[in-house]
Amino acid sequence: MDETAVHPGPPGASYTVTIRVTAHPHPALLPRLGQAVSSVGAVVVGMDLVEVGAAGTTVDLTLQATSEEHVATVTAALERADYRVRHVSDRTFLYHLGGKIEVTPRVAVRTRQDLALAYTPGVGRVASAIARRPSDAWALTAKGSSVAIATDGSAVLGLGNLGPLAALPVMEGKALLFKHFGGINAYPLCMNTATPEALVDAIAAAAPGFGGVNLEDIAAPACFWVEPELQSRLDIPVFHDDQHGTAAVVLAAVLNGCRMTGRELSAVRAVLVGVGAAGTAVAEALLDAGVGDLCAFDVDGIITDGPGVQPHHARIAARCNQRGFKTLSAALEGADLFIGTSRRGAVEPSMLAGMAPRPLVFALANPEPEVFGEEMAEGAVVATGRSDFPNQINNSLCFPGFFKGALAARAAYVTPAMKSAATRAIAACVSDEELALGVIVPSMFQARVHEQVAAAVAAAWEAEHPGTPVPVPQSFAGWSDDGL
């Protein structure tokens, strides 16, 4: 059997390893090493000569694979070719050593006077001022630039209920992106709670130190209760990113996909597979935006609103499946848009072959999409959730700018207008020239994306709430115990 056949999908950055090998000197050693690696489907991205000596030539091979099993296949192939594998370093784990975030002071403490200002006795005056006028905390603490990233670890990525400790590296990654793309201080709150009620209580208890709450990796259906319940108890925005961040980016991609293919959104026939947290929010966003022909399927088939059905399924079923399709293959015949928020294999590539010309295929399951681009007919506009493929549907296009705008406007909660504004801002960041190249979502590394999302979100809140107080300027001239 072909060894590469057992490794689904192409090699990617998440399985980047460096393999140190020692071999007998030979003029063709480096090309032969590259051939040994590529013969089993891995991709060499770096080759460094470490040492040439009497004991042999030592080379560091940096390569991308598809899985840990694939890495083992590569090392076995090297050893069969008579190369001695001395060490394998997993770049992903090395990247995470010591964690990915830290707290960095904004002021210096070099003298006793600095200490007296930063801590006791000077800080006591500031604490007293905030006790008298709580709104001063937005200016005199980091509250106005801080977000809690809260999870119970019940739905970590696509890996399931791993618990709060295993969720920590994911929340650290989120905090890193908040800071890098939005300039926001974000802190992981990985809650060891047994019930949704306990989770809400724990987050609410920690909320005073934050200007917003980003809910993350909380399983459905609990997430549909946790978010509104928490928002009802807090006066800061609460945003479940797995739902609304995903929906905003997906809808932006749909809008641009329609621009690219000459479709009207209201005329789009859409099929969605996977009606969990993300899928429910995506379905609602599509319907609210004007898509009138949507069929939604879950693991048990087409969703319905009959007795015993989960409320979120019933809510979606009542607004879609108007054509009466019973099977996924029938629904996909002639459809314009497929969105998968499910798992690899949830749809067969052959089912997608009968879609309308130039279909929009968003296979968003991670780490393996429902289908890969190479499995699609030529002409399909394909998007996935992976960073190593074009058109990555990534929440990072939304949440840094969304919270930056919400904090700037000092929003008290999240409104539909704010979510719609974020969607339109993301879509508008793709130019006609980029669209002509097949690009339907911008890169998260374009700073203007996050700035435009922030501006749109802030404007949406302010349009609905004129006269809302804005954060106090950073200049505190004239400050007294009674305020500015």
DSSP element (H, E) containing 63: strand 56-64
How buried is 452 (Cβ within 10 angstroms: 0-12 exposed, 13-18 middle, 19+ buried)?
buried
Query: Which amino acid is it at 195?
Result: T
Which tokens is 377 given? 């007919």
Alpha-carbon torsion (223, 228, 234, 235), positive or negative: positive
Question: Is residue 119 among the annotated active site residues?
Answer: yes
Given a contact cutoff of 8 angstroms between Cβ atoms, the answer to whether 258 and 265 are in contact is yes
Query: Which amino acid is it at 481?
Result: D
Q: Tokens 């904004």, residue?
A: 106
Question: Is residue 187 among the annotated active site residues?
Answer: no
From first CA to last CA, the distance across the chain in angstroms is: 75
C-alpha 234/C-alpha 197 separation (Å) is 15
C-alpha 16/C-alpha 229 separation (Å) is 42
Instruction: Say whether 438 sits in a helix, a strand or coil.
Output: coil
Nearest Cα to 440, choosing from 477, 376, 378, 397?
397
Catalytic residue among 143, 174, 404, 419: 174
Q: Tokens 């339907």, residue?
A: 440
Task: Say what angle helices 29-38 and 68-80 make with each other, to 10 degrees.
Answer: 140
User: For the residues of 248-308, what is the DSSP string, one character each?
Assistant: HHHHHHHHHHHHHHT--GGG-EEEEE--SHHHHHHHHHHHHHT--EEEEEETTEE----TT
How buried is 126 (Cβ within 10 angstroms: 0-12 exposed, 13-18 middle, 19+ buried)?
middle
C-alpha 346/C-alpha 344 separation (Å) is 6
Provide CB contacts within 8 A for 326, sequence distance 6+. 301, 302
Give the burial string for 331-357 (b: 16+ CB within 10 Å, else e).
bbeebbbbbbbbbbebbeeebbeebbe
Query: Which amino acid is it at 125?
Result: R
**Torsions phi, psi for 141 (to 5 deg):** -135, 180
C-alpha 35/C-alpha 77 separation (Å) is 10
Given a contact cutoff of 8 angstroms between Cβ atoms, the answer to whether 261 and 361 are in contact is no
Provide CB contacts within 8 A for 5, sequence distance 6+. none
Which tokens is 63 given? 């390569």
Q: Which active-site residues does the annotation give?
A: 119, 174
